[in-house]
């Protein structure tokens, strides 16, 4: 992931992200920590960028440190609206966190339940793991 790309995503600069996508940047290129743009946008709460990346067909289920996906990072950070958008876009529900206390062995559904995101848990339960 280029520094320009990562900086635009983390800063929430949707216009710069849109331009870089049009220039052909790989939306799934990882940064030095193995995180993709979707993971960063989901964790930082940048809904417009998550939407752009989903439209650009960014991979929804890549996992990085502690086997956390963009969906799981959105939940951990408290961004229920982004988590809901990722579930509706087809993000997988079967991944389990690893290593870190509080994440090890837990799915996105379990993380959401622990955080009181009951409507999101209901959507996940209706969809089944995948």
- Residue-wise pLDDT for 6-36, tens only, equals 999 999 999 999 999 999 999 999 999 999 9
pLDDT of residue 48: 98
Average pLDDT of the residues in 64-84: 96
- Residue-wise pLDDT for 52-70, tens only, equals 999 999 999 999 989 999 9
**∠57-113-71 over CA atoms, to 5°?**
15
Task: Look at domain 3-127 and name its CATH class.
Answer: mainly alpha
pLDDT bin (cut points 50, 70, 90) of residue 93 is: very high
Average pLDDT of the residues in 94-113: 92
More confident residue, 123 or 129: 123
The whole-model pTM stands at: 0.94
């Amino acid at each position: 992931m280029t520094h320009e790309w990562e900086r635009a995503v983390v800063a929430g600069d949707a216009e710069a992200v849109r331009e870089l996508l049009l220039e052909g940047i790989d939306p799934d290129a990882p940064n030095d920590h193995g995180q993709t743009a979707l993971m960063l946008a989901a964790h930082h709460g940048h809904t417009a960028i998550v939407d752009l990346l989903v439209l650009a067909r960014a991979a929804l289920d890549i996992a990085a440190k502690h086997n956390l996906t963009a969906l799981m990072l959105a939940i951990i950070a408290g961004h229920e609206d982004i988590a809901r958008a990722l579930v509706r876009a087809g993000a997988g529900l079967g991944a389990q966190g690893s290593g870190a206390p509080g994440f090890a062995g837990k799915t996105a559904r379990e993380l959401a339940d622990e955080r009181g995101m009951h409507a999101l848990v209901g959507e996940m339960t209706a969809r089944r793991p995948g």
